[in-house]
Amino acid sequence: MALRHAVLAALLDEELSGYQLVKAFDLGVANFWHAQPQQLYAELTRLEKDGLITGREVVQENRPNKRLFKVTDAGLAELDHFTGTAAKPSFMRDDLVVKVQAADHVDTDTLIGRLAERAAMAEAKVELFGKLLRTMRGDRTEEEFLRHGERVGPYLTCLRGLAFEQGNHDWCVRTIAVLRERAAADVRE
């Protein structure tokens, strides 16, 4: 997947300024595709040049003018083509996992500290995803929303983010418990 597809997907629901796109990425898209703000602004320029999005100037009082962007028919066709291509298998590239790989040869207390930090971050994201899901579905049950909701794509990707972060949290908590148990057993021996 190229950044262009993530940006196009983020612009499907409404016109966004570059600033709003950065915020949208932080809240949703960044959970499955990370990009720096400067990368997003550069991609907006390329997408507009390629005719996949269109921008319009909005005059604001007491503030600088802003540009709002939306997906064009060509952009929708690009997303449709992207959706039709085979998805590449995902892979994990995580420095914390490498640190755990070395667990038998490094300071266990320091490693446990890093795992606890990651568990806390994952728990915060689990809470955020839960809030986003509740907001999206409103007063409907999840099954009602999945059957009849206006836009199911963002909800389903949010569910994937929730499962990912819950898995991160659970793995960190279990790894901490294993390392503590092994350290306690070493002390007893």
User: Taking a C-beta distance cutoff of 8 angstroms, is the pair 41, 81 a contact?
Assistant: no
- Two tokens, residue 96: 């914390």
pTM for this predicted structure: 0.79
Mean pLDDT value across residues 121-145: 94
Q: CB–CB of 28/157 below 8 Å? A: yes
Q: Pick from 26, 59, 21: which is nearest to 42 by CA?
A: 21
Report whether 8 contacts 77 (CB < 8 A): no
**Amino acid 146: pLDDT:** 96
At residue 27, the pLDDT reads 65
Residues 6 or more apart in contact with residue 161 via CB below 8 angstroms: 28, 31, 32, 125, 129
Q: What is the pLDDT of residues 134-159, one digit of tens each?
A: 999 999 999 999 999 988 988 998 89
Q: 166 falls in which pLDDT band (50, 70, 90)?
A: very high
* Percentage of the chain exceeding pLDDT 90: 65
